Amino acid sequence: MTSIHVTLGDVAASVALVAVALAISLWERTHLEGDVLVAAVRAFVQLTAIGYVIKFIFDQDELVFVIALIAVMVLFGALTARRRARRVPHAFWPLLIALAIAAVTTLGLVVALGIFPATPRYLVPVGGMVIGNAMTAAAVALNRLGDDVADSAGRIEATLALGATAAEAVRPVARRSLRSGVIPLIDSTKTTGLIFFPGTMVGMLLAGAAPVDAVRLQLVLLYTLLGSVFTAALVAVLLARRNFFTPAHQLRESAIASSG
Amino acid sequence: MIPSTVPALFALEDLRASRGGRVVLDGFSADIPHGSTAVVGPSGAGKSTLLRLLNRLADPDAGAIRYRGRDLREYDVLALRRTVTLVPQLPSLLDGTVAENVAYGPRLAGGEANVERALALAGLADGFARRRVGELSVGEKQRVMLARALALAPEVLLLDEPTSALDAAARSGIERTLLHLREELDVSYVLVTHDEAQAERLCSGIVRVP
């Protein structure tokens, strides 16, 4: 595979497109100029920093650094997703465990199945993708769970009143939350190649890879993501749903009250 | 006459309970005997909260509740809720048919429901079993809620203003059903109502919440 070299000049030139975004934002008074600037600057700083981190890890070629990087990504993923799951009491731990399990099982499986070797060059980018997508799915699922438990409190309590356990009473709500967490990825997987070209494929094609190779690698990653996203959303919902209830199968008033 | 040694159905001792961060019951004590008892009082006095305490949908902040002489917390909570079953104020059914809703409680306990009998007790004709919940009027839904509770063959029904959302005709229908239950079945009920006349019509005892 040939390698592609992108100069800082090329990056600077692409800022012209950010200027287009800013111009449209000003013209249409969307008041998003500040957000666009912050997003563009953050992307530059964060990607540059992680670029150096990844270079360091590749140079060391030690798995312990890979594990440390993935642990940090899981931690930040859980902290970020928690902000989307405000209506779920104590959402941090379910999210942290969900992302950790999704990362470990997914990476473990792709290595065990011989799809990728257990080296930093593969584990770091695949891990980053897995955790990023798992975070989004878990955050969407818990966001929905928090809203739906508050909205369905009457129905949940009516079910508890018949002698249902907390898990039984919240099951329809939990199922909807799980679905809303994973449906975006299923939809984008369905339309991939038709409506949009996924990032890995674009990157490989730009880097000069043969289209067949680009497609195959993209397929491996899409299938990997499906598994990891379902795992993360399921674990997050299963762990988080308990936080709405007391051990005596009572819906916590604070869980509903804190949700307004 | 020999003094009765049978304990009250519920004995409430020095209860304090809050709802929405506000103390609604404080130092409240009362006995609720077997049979039919109305809980009356002004709105916001804690009538519904009291009902929720009786099947442990909530626990009091302080004080004790005894059911048939034993502390409520000594019972298995899931079994207790099947024995002391709450029918909430607003009908809240699961999506699906009436039969699925009525069979739901007994199925959770691993048993079979006599759907027709439960519907008949709640004053609903056989044909209702196949109706979908979304097609029902509020009054019909309230009866299905009652049938769903009766399918568990409870010892006590806790009824939270069961007629408050109904028009006059549906209200008197539910009232007739409750009177029929009182006469035909060995089931006690605790009825929360803000309507003193209804309390007189349906219950032999009254507990006032200040």
- Six-digit token pair at B112? 């079979």
* Alpha-helical runs (H) found in chain B: 47-54, 77-83, 98-108, 115-121, 138-150, 168-184, 196-202
Please give the CATH superfamily to which domain B10-208 belongs. Answer: P-loop containing nucleotide triphosphate hydrolases (3.40.50.300)
3-class SS string, A153-195: HHHHHHHHCCCCCHHHHHHHHHHHHHHHHHHHHHHHHHHECCC
Residue B185, pLDDT score: 84
Judge: B105–A157 Cβ closer than 8 Å, yes or no.
no
B78 contact A CB<8A? yes
Give the H/E segment covering residue B14: strand B10-19
Residue B186, pLDDT score: 79
Report CA torsion sign: A154, A155, A161, A166. negative
Residue A259, pLDDT score: 39
Q: Which residue of A has its CA nearest to B103?
A: A162
Q: What percent of chain B has pLDDT over 70?
A: 98
Higher pLDDT, residue A1 or B90: B90
Domain boundaries, chain A: 1-60, 62-257
SS3 call for B67:
strand
Q: Which residue of B has its CA nearest to A251?
A: B57
List all residues of chain A from 137 to 166 with a beta carbon under 8 Å from chain B.
154-155, 157-165
Q: Which of B19, B90, B104 sits opposite A162 (nearest CB)?
A: B104
Residue B7, pLDDT score: 82
Give the H/E segment covering residue B19: strand B10-19
pLDDT band at residue B3 under the 50/70/90 scheme: low
The number of beta carbons lying within 10 Å of the beta carbon of residue B186 is 8
Query: In the beta sheet, which residues pair with residue B87?
Result: B159
Closest CA to A103 of A75, A78, A70: A70
Radius of gyration of chain B, Cα coordinates, nearest whole angstrom: 17
Residue B168, pLDDT score: 86
Residue A260, pLDDT score: 35
Between strands B10-19 and B156-160, the pairing is: unpaired
Taking the CA atoms of residue A189, residue A191, residue A194 and residue A199 in that order, the dihedral angle to the nearest 10 degrees is -40
B55 contact A CB<8A? yes
Residue B170, pLDDT score: 83
SS3 call for A245:
strand
Q: What is the rounded average pLDDT of the residues B185-202?
A: 92
- The set of residues, in sequence order, having a beta carbon less than 8 Å from that of B133 and lying 6+ positions away, is B93, B94, B95, B96, B97, B98, B101, B141, B144
Out of A182-186, B20-24, B27-31, B145-149, which region has the weakest mean confidence (pLDDT)? B20-24
CATH label, A62-257, candidates 3.40.50, 3.40.109, 2.60.40, 1.20.1640 = 1.20.1640
Closest CA to A185 of A240, A129, A115, A103: A129
Q: d(Cα A235, Cα A182) in Å, to the nearest integer?
A: 12
Chain B environment of A169 (Cβ under 8 Å): none
Cβ pair A240, A85 in contact under 8 A: yes
Question: Does pLDDT of B182 surpass 90?
Answer: no
Q: Is A213 left (phi over 0), alpha (psi -120 to 50) or beta?
A: alpha
Q: Which residue of A has its CA nearest to B88?
A: A158
Judge: B81–A250 Cβ closer than 8 Å, yes or no.
no
B88 contact A CB<8A? yes
Residue A136, pLDDT score: 96
Preferred mutation among B108, B144, B157, B161 to probe A, highest tally of A CBs within 10 A: B108
pLDDT band at residue B173 under the 50/70/90 scheme: confident
* Model confidence pLDDT, tens digit, residues B31-88: 999 999 999 998 888 999 999 999 999 999 999 999 999 999 999 999 999 999 999 9
**Average predicted confidence (pLDDT) for chain B:** 91
Q: Which residue of A has its CA nearest to B74?
A: A248
Question: Does pLDDT of B151 surpass 60?
Answer: yes
Longest dimension (CA), chain A: 68
Question: Does pLDDT of B2 surpass 60?
Answer: no
| Angstroms from B4 CA to nearest CA on chain A | 32
Sequential pLDDT tens for chain A (260 residues) = 456 788 999 999 999 999 999 999 999 999 999 999 999 999 999 999 999 999 999 999 899 999 999 999 999 999 999 999 999 999 999 999 999 999 999 999 999 999 999 999 999 999 999 999 999 999 999 999 999 999 999 999 999 999 999 999 999 999 999 999 999 999 999 998 888 888 889 999 999 999 999 999 999 999 999 999 999 999 999 999 999 999 999 999 877 654 33
Chain A environment of B93 (Cβ under 8 Å): 158
Chain A environment of B94 (Cβ under 8 Å): 155, 159, 172
Question: Does pLDDT of B5 surpass 70?
Answer: no
